Amino acid sequence: MTIRHTIQGGCRESQNLAGIISQGINIVTMNKKIWIPHLLILTCLALSLMLGCTASPTTPPVTNEGEQSTEDSASDTSLGAPDTVEVVYFHRTQRCYSCKYVEARTRYTLETYFKDELASGRLTFQVINVQDQANADIVKKYGAYTSSLFINTLKDDTAHIEEATNVYSLIGKDEAFAKALKSKIEKSLTGEE
């Protein structure tokens, strides 16, 4: 019995769809060697897109005051030297090459160029899984939902959160990645951003 026979009555579109599906099933059963590898590849691709991660969110992060902040909306005035600069990297449970790369290169950049600031606590680095319920408060604070790198410049208990979206275009370019992130952190440490 085919799918067409299981639909009794119904609209013409449903009957046509059943016919197309049953023809597709007949094609698949006749050419298993051709269709099965293609179906497996398409299924794997679909799963990796659903479970993988994306470069950056489309909504800007939210500061402590509830205002949205974007990288391009940085104030022209200097904040003055901040109390602390937090570098926070968010990732999903299932991590792709890009996720692992961003974490590793961020860690390398911080440990290579900012040893003293890390040791003094003036600069901190956190790696947070956005899918772990224990991290719900910090995920909400930053507005993160997928792989994201944020720099939070804290001055007088006021958070100035910015997403470092520019690093995602530098994945695989070790020196350019480190240079761009180093520059951004240096500006944050001096209060320029």
Task: Return the SS3 of 158.
Answer: strand
Provide the residue-wise pLDDT of the chain in tens; the chain has 193 residues.
444 443 344 443 434 444 444 455 454 455 555 556 655 565 554 444 444 554 444 344 444 444 444 444 444 445 577 788 999 999 999 989 998 999 999 999 999 999 999 999 999 999 999 999 999 999 999 999 889 999 998 888 888 899 998 899 999 999 999 999 999 999 988 887 6
Give the span between the Cα atoms of 193 and 143, in whole angstroms: 19
Every domain of the chain and the residues it spans:
3-51, 71-190
71-190 maps to CATH 3.40.30.10: yes
Give the span between the Cα atoms of 162 and 121, in whole angstroms: 20
Sign of the alpha-carbon torsion through 133, 136, 139, 145: positive
Q: Angle between the 32-51 and 12-30 helix axes, to the nearest 10 degrees?
A: 110
Exposed, middle or buried by CB within 10 Å (0-12, 13-18, 19+), for 106? Answer: buried
Pairing of strands 123-129, 84-91: parallel
Task: Return the SS3 of 70.
Answer: coil
pTM of the model: 0.60
Give the span between the Cα atoms of 153 and 191, in whole angstroms: 8
Buried b (16+ CB within 10 A) or exposed e, 111-146: eebbeebeeeeebebeebebeeeeeeeebebbbbbb
